[in-house]
Amino acid sequence: MSDYYLSNSGSLKSQPKRTIGNYVASHGILVPTRFDSLKDARSSGKPFIARSEHSQDYAGLSGLLDSPHSRKLDGIETEEQLKQVIFGKEKDRSSFSNSRNLPKQLCRITGQPLEDFIDGVSFSFWEFVPGYNRVVIADSSVGGRYHVITKRDVFAKNSNARVVNYSIVEENKVTQFVQPLTPALKARLPELITDYEAVRRLGNFDSKHCPIMEFQTRHGKNHFLQYHRTRDFSPTTFTLNWKKNDGTVEALFVRGSTPPEGFEVNATVCYSVWERSGHDWDGLPDEDASFDLHFNHIIPELNAKRRRLQIVPKSDVHWALMEVAIGHFQRTKLFKPEVSVVVPRDSLIAKEERSRLGKISYETNQDQKVPLHIVSDGTRAYVRRTDL
């Protein structure tokens, strides 16, 4: 089955969130109220969100633009004023603050004029539904396996208000990371997955795709918020049952599978642009794998679907999955490459070697890579250097 919106991108009307929200609601699935205008949203007397919209939002980058809550919009009357809230005033757009420079980075790398990108931004106005924010993703290689993120007030000063949970749901088994769910939330995970599958199997979508889908749960009811594309389902064909050899690193966490014999990649450790200046890239690096040892968010977003392997080096799997739970960018690294693995920090690249490769990258103006072999059955994975 093909995806209607990929084949007919104009049908999204440059507002993927609103268009798909309307489509999902037309099939009797619970979706927050969408208002026709900022004026109508205010007249409703309900809290609302001005959700940023761009044609690339359906199958492109994640987390590129903010969506301000109504409490931050006092005095705002026009779309241009709304754009100033998230982009800054026009005279300041050449020097965005850190919270506003992602579109600027994107346009520098892709060569698109920044003002053309901004012209393509609009807003849709949605009722704000308080409660638990939920994200569900069907696993791309293990059938019947789902990744579920639950969070609420992750930046609240009152620790009792915070909930950050990452769960793997497979048949009747739930494996939890970071923070445990309440018994009620855990008991209703099957209902959430049922709602996910109800949307996934609607006619305009490819039911073999494994989208990131966002919901808001209030009083046990799941309100659909967004559908974002990642990868198609490609089932694993084997079970990894051999013991790791010397020099082989077992992943702390894996998503995605390889052929039984695995595959080899050259993984970028040091980017010359970053080592020499730390400034934005002027183009995309040519690579099939990366450690992403830098702080540019746009490069992983643009390259993620092209990567065969994403390495996420972390000292603790709970910390790694907490970052996935609270941020779009780490989520991209986990779900958009062919295979993504969390490995112990310094297990494949020691600090001393990272420093040495950084100096070489600076001096030669060339990215530095290491050859890796990976084998994964979608549940377990082993990675090893092939140059040692």
Residue 19 lies in a domain: no
* C-alpha torsion 24→27→31→33, nearest 10: 100
For residues 20-44, average pLDDT: 97
Q: Give all strands of the β-sheet with 48-53 in edge-to-edge order.
A: 34-35, 122-127, 48-53
pTM: 0.94
Alpha helices by DSSP H, listed for 262-348, are 272-276, 298-303, 317-326, 328-335
Quick one: 90 and 182 in the same domain?
no
| pLDDT, tens only, 179-192 | 999 999 999 999 99
Residue 27 lies in a domain: no
| pLDDT, tens only, 191-229 | 999 999 999 999 999 999 999 999 999 999 999 999 999
> What residue type is 355 in one-letter code?
S
> What residue type is 53 in one-letter code?
E
In which band, very low, low, confident or very high, does the pLDDT at 95 lie, cut at 50, 70 and 90?
A: very low
Which residue, 48, 118, 123, 115, is CA-closest to 78? 123
| pLDDT, tens only, 319-363 | 999 999 998 889 999 999 999 999 999 999 999 999 999 999 999
Q: What is the DSSP string of 135-202?
A: EEEE-SSSTTEEEEEEEE-TT-SSGGG-EEEEEEEETTEEEEESSPPPHHHHHTHHHHHHHHHHHHTS
- The whole-number pLDDT of residue 97 equals 44
Q: Which of 182, 206, 232 is the last residue of a domain?
A: 232
Quick one: 202 and 174 in the same domain?
yes
Q: Above 50 in pLDDT, residue 26?
A: yes
Q: Above 90 in pLDDT, residue 42?
A: yes
Give the chain's mean pLDDT: 93
Quick one: 38 and 78 in the same domain?
yes
Residue 121 lies in a domain: yes
In which band, very low, low, confident or very high, does the pLDDT at 58 lie, cut at 50, 70 and 90?
A: very high
- The whole-number pLDDT of residue 159 equals 66
Quick one: 336 and 213 in the same domain?
no
C-alpha to C-alpha distance for 229 and 212, rounded to whole angstroms: 6
Total domains in the fold of the chain: 3
Quick one: 95 and 191 in the same domain?
no
Q: Which of 104, 127, 150 is the last residue of a domain?
A: 127
| pLDDT, tens only, 134-163 | 999 999 999 999 999 999 986 666 767 789
Quick one: 117 and 149 in the same domain?
no
Q: Please state, for a pLDDT cut of 90, what percent of the chain lies above it.
A: 83
Q: Which of 108, 127, 146 is the last residue of a domain?
A: 127
Residue 327: give the domain boundaries.
248-385
Residue 211 lies in a domain: yes
Q: Above 80 in pLDDT, residue 99?
A: no
**Which two three-digit tokens encode residue 85?**
């809230």
Q: Above 90 in pLDDT, residue 247?
A: no
Q: Above 70 in pLDDT, residue 98?
A: no
Quick one: 110 and 140 in the same domain?
no
C-alpha to C-alpha distance for 64 and 35, rounded to whole angstroms: 23
Q: What's the Rg (C-alpha) of the chain? A: 21
Which residue, 67, 175, 152, is CA-closest to 326? 152
